[in-house]
Chain A
Amino acid sequence: MSSGTRRTNSSDPLLRAVQDGDPACPDGRALASLGRLMRQHAALPASHDLTAGVRARLNNDTQRHVDLEDAIEATWNGAGLPDADLTRLAGLVRMATELPGPVDLRGAVRRKLQASARTPEIIALDATSRWRIWSFVVAGHVAAALLMVAFHQSSLQRAAESSVVAVAGSGASAGPTDSLQPGPGHGVVLPAQWSAARGGAADLLLLRRFPELREEARQQYSLMPSREVVGGGLAWLLAGQAADGFFGPRSDDLDLDLATQGLAMLAVQGEGLGDGDRLAAVRRGAEWLVTARSATAPQAAMSRALTALALTDAALLTGDRYLRAHAERALAELDDGQELSPGASGLGGFALLATELANAGDLTVSTRLVERARRDLGRPLPAVDADAGRIGLAIFARQMTGLRGQDSTRSQLASLRLLVPVAGGIADPLGWFFATCAAREAGGDDWTAWNTAMQVRLVPLFQWEAGRAHLPAAAARHAGSLPMVGDTVATATALLNLQAGYRFLPLAR
């Protein structure tokens, strides 16, 4: 553009003068000369056509793109000579992505195939058949829901009518059978004999899944006297859950906190998943466990075992694959070569319960760990002066491994009868846990004696406030000395004992 044709609309007189030679400006002429001079010397030395350059670069890019595509094809699709850089990249990635550990899926796949053979193969059905089945399923669920509502009404009425339920009473509920059988509404009728309840049912957590079944189990297995404190204790635990998922105040000792959380989770999960709020509480609680143990692996054997057990229980109850993966990881970490020991009050037995439950629930748990837990925790005989928990673990382990009929098991059951909780004695819900499990599995008089005494001892110790109940730490052995978490441990362990009638279907073989 020539300077002669330049006309600016700028309001700045100086700029106008430089660009156009404004005569009104005092040094207008000089400024115009300056402008002209600058323009002349700032001009391109020659006209420049960029077309060729742009075209060349575009071609170059296209060529590089084509070259890269060819190189990729050659390296990964076998079309020509592989590119050296890409081959190095491929090798690097392969090196960095090797599996961290060996893989042997044969056992797990076998188990799944066996389980799969027991389930109907709807996959092989045509669309019409599937539609028909789903219609029946939906209709069945609607009918079942209606029956459950009716059953719930009648059972509440029945509970209200019987203000006192004999603890020692057997067959309190109408129509006990010899095995777990299909029934109206809730799906099963509980058997009179606990050991017969397992039958062919694979779902060990069945009784927890429906409130009606828990109610039936409480009546059937003489747990009605503790029904209210269990409900109050559950409400207390849930009310105390912090936003991060931990139940109650923390001690800041990670091992202790993990064990406490494990116990609280088991107690909450003992009452099933209930409504959406309960499920949310379980998920938050489990997430706390997952996060805490991922950050720092628990060191104490009991913390590790309780974490594995609580996650296993949560995974089976929710059917959640994420929890299942973490439960399996926690179980795998139990198998670190460290010695497993029954310990005081048989508390080492939580590891045995975790492995047995995982094994029965088809979670992946190494056979070596299952065997080791049975050998190290189940087989050792308790000392002559062992407490109820230690003897209980010995019995429970024998029951689970098919040795319930052995003389040694019967002899230990007789020993346990001498150690039933007594009025005025120290309540030791943590130490009693395996004794309660053993008595529950044994059933009959052993269960009646233990269960009656345990409830009589525990129930009055609960303190009520605003519809919630908790067992104060000071009232329970072990819990009183725990910093901050004592109340949670005492309440949770008491609940674990009082839920024994419906926690699992019989684990004993």
Chain B
Amino acid sequence: MPLALPLPPMTDVPAPATILDADQQVMARIREGDQEAVVTLVERYQHELTGFFYHLSWDQLIAEELAQDVFVNVYRSRERYQATAKVRTYLYRIAHNLWIDHLRRQKRHVSIDAELGDESLRLVDVLQAPGGEARDHEDRDELIRARIQEALADLPEGQREVFILANNHGMKYQDISVTLGIPEGTVKSRMHNAVRSLRDALGDLVEEQ
């Protein structure tokens, strides 16, 4: 499986170089080639990273596969990690790059299939499968879930990623800015637009509560 491109060194978020937190101690072991340390990192972050990809793809299998790639990339690019970077932000940065990579490949799929004239292409449907299935479900909760997922899926990619990182992963604007490699002002405006769109789309659900 192709892995993401080489990563830039992560030096944006300063931290005391002498006191290593638990994650940085794990990273130090990984730098020495300890594969079991990667598994420790997996135990700590697998759920939220899989969640990150799931919120972008709505496909748990794709999410798990990309999350695995994050950890493998951490190991493969271990020489590039600098202890001044927050490990969590570093992981999300890799995750973001992998997601961009994934989207590029996905676009290639679409173009290949378009050339083939294959009208049965279901890539987009597949990525939105949970929503599609839920729509058919009679259970009200499932319908609400589908509506919310659809509203999220309708957001432009950049806004969706910012909103997911802030809302579902509790990241502050500064960390999102580092993770996505965009100015904090852009994070703020994307967040603002995302919230407005979601509020417009889901206003009745918010009021119901």
A and B physically associate: yes
Binding site for B on A (CB under 8 A): 68-69, 72-73, 76-78, 85-86, 88-90, 92-101, 103-106, 108-110, 112-114, 116-117, 121, 123-124, 243-245, 280, 283-284, 287-288, 290-291, 294, 319, 321-322, 324-326, 328-329, 332, 364
Would you call B50 an interface residue if the criterion is a C-beta within 8 Å of the partner chain's C-beta atoms? yes
Contact, CB under 8 Å: A97 / B168: yes
Name the A residues within 8 Å of B47 (CB-CB): 99, 103
Known contacts: A72-B192, A290-B122. The answer to whether A110 contacts B39 by CB under 8 A is yes
Chain A minimum-CB-distance residue to B43: A106
Would you call B85 an interface residue if the criterion is a C-beta within 8 Å of the partner chain's C-beta atoms? no
Complex CA gap A388/B61 in Å reads 38
Would you call B180 an interface residue if the criterion is a C-beta within 8 Å of the partner chain's C-beta atoms? no
Name the A residues within 8 Å of B118 (CB-CB): 245, 283-284, 287
Contact, CB under 8 Å: B195 / A86: yes
A and B contact pairs by CB, cutoff 8 A, 26 listed: A68-B196, A88-B206, A88-B209, A89-B202, A93-B168, A93-B198, A96-B144, A96-B148, A96-B149, A97-B51, A99-B60, A103-B46, A103-B47, A104-B46, A105-B46, A105-B71, A106-B46, A109-B38, A109-B42, A110-B35, A112-B72, A114-B35, A124-B76, A322-B109, A324-B65, A329-B61
Contact, CB under 8 Å: B42 / A106: yes
Instruction: Report the minimal beta-carbon distance from A453 to chain B, rounded to whole angstroms.
Output: 41
Instruction: Report the minimal beta-carbon distance from B164 to chain A, rounded to whole angstroms.
Output: 8
Binding site for A on B (CB under 8 A): 1, 3, 6, 35, 38-39, 42-43, 46-47, 50-51, 54-55, 59-65, 67-69, 71-72, 75-77, 79-80, 102, 105-106, 109, 112-113, 116-118, 120-123, 126, 129-130, 144-145, 148-149, 152, 163-164, 166-168, 172-173, 188, 191-192, 195-196, 198-199, 202, 205-206, 209
Name the B residues within 8 Å of A326 (CB-CB): 126
Instruction: Report the minimal beta-carbon distance from B69 to chain A, rounded to whole angstroms.
Output: 8
Contact, CB under 8 Å: A85 / B206: yes
Partner pick for B64 among A98, A287, A364, CB 8 A cutoff = A364
Q: How many A-B residue pairs have CB under 8 A?
A: 165
Known contacts: A97-B149, A100-B60. The answer to whether A123 contacts B77 by CB under 8 A is yes
Beyond contacts A68-B192, A108-B64, A321-B65: 13 other A-B pairs, Cβ-Cβ < 8 A, are A68-B195, A69-B192, A90-B167, A95-B145, A99-B54, A100-B130, A103-B64, A109-B38, A112-B69, A113-B71, A243-B117, A284-B116, A322-B106
